[in-house]
Chain A
Amino acid sequence: EPEVTQTPSHQVTQMGQEVILRCVPISNHLYFYWYRQILGQKVEFLVSFYNNEISEKSEIFDDQFSVERPDGSNFTLKIRSTKLEDSAMYFCASSAGEQYFGPGTRLTVT
């Protein structure tokens, strides 16, 4: 069964550093998303992406965040200068109808 994959599974970084989280969506999906989940809290929408551009973003997705689809298979989330409060699980999802989520990347900012 096709699935969304994400790498790395766990990323530890120092405050102020840049991180890139990577996702490989399901191959025939055209809609892509990033969500995050702070420990013990609900899943929060960050951004959606379609046709090589952002279709919607939340207030969380400020100028420190960017997304890119650098090739035909990868979808990335970059955080330019990480803050302590960016520590969370980051989930990628893709859709051709229902949204399917990847296993997540745990980002720890120290």
Chain B
Amino acid sequence: GESVGLHLPTLSVQEGDNSIINCAYSNSASDYFIWYKQESGKGPQFIIDIRSNMDKRQGQRVTVLLNKTVKHLSLQIAATQPGDSAVYFCAENKAGGTSYGKLTFGQGTILTVHP
């Protein structure tokens, strides 16, 4: 069936290191992907998105890479800070390429940044 999932459930890094969080998806028809950050007791916070016509997109300290050949998505966080500690979810949009349809979330990766 269709699914969006994560390879690693937890990731611990030292402050200042770069972090890489991975996500696999199974629906090759999906063409819009989003990364969300969820801090304890809060709702998911939009980080960055990417459409399938792109391989890479950069934001402030974050980069999302999309490999359609192996259906893999990654989030790179540069110079990770303690405030980056949270659960990170990838999500897939199934509305035929628009951003208005339902999101299917992966299980999440817990990122812990040690000072």
Contact residues in B for A103 (Cβ distance below 8 Å): 41-43
B99's partner among A35, A42, A95 (CB-CB below 8 A) is: A95
Chain B 15-58 interface 0/1 with A at a Cβ cutoff of 8 Å (1 = within): 00000000000000000001010000111111001000000000
Contact residues in A for B108 (Cβ distance below 8 Å): 42
Chain B 93-110 interface 0/1 with A at a Cβ cutoff of 8 Å (1 = within): 000000111111111100
User: Does A48 lie at the interface of the complex (its beta carbon under 8 Å from any beta carbon of B)?
Assistant: yes
Contact residues in B for A95 (Cβ distance below 8 Å): 99-100
Contact residues in A for B103 (Cβ distance below 8 Å): 33, 35, 43, 45, 99
Please state if B43 and A45 are interface contacts (CB–CB under 8 Å).
no
> A33 and B99 in contact (CB under 8 A), knowing A98-B34, A104-B42?
no
Please state if B49 and A98 are interface contacts (CB–CB under 8 Å).
yes
Nearest neighbor of B100 in chain A, beta-carbon distance: A31
Q: Complex Cα distance A97/B49, Å?
A: 11
Contact residues in B for A31 (Cβ distance below 8 Å): 100
Which residues between 21 and 53 of chain A lie within 8 Å of chain B, taking CB atoms? 31, 33, 35, 41-45, 48, 50
Chain B 45-85 interface 0/1 with A at a Cβ cutoff of 8 Å (1 = within): 11001000000000000000000000000000000000000
Q: Report the tally of A-B residue pairs with Cβ distances under 8 A.
A: 53
* Chain B proximity of A93: nearest CB distance (Å): 8
Q: Complex Cα distance A102/B46, Å?
A: 11
Please state if A101 and B45 are interface contacts (CB–CB under 8 Å).
yes
Contact residues in A for B107 (Cβ distance below 8 Å): 41-42
Contact residues in A for B101 (Cβ distance below 8 Å): 48, 56
Please state if A43 and B102 are interface contacts (CB–CB under 8 Å).
no
- What are 12 A-B contacts defined by CB distance under 8 Å? A33-B103, A42-B108, A43-B44, A43-B91, A44-B105, A58-B102, A95-B100, A98-B46, A98-B49, A99-B46, A101-B46, A104-B42
Q: What 4 A-B pairs are tightest by C-beta distance, nearest first? A: A101-B43, A45-B102, A43-B105, A42-B105
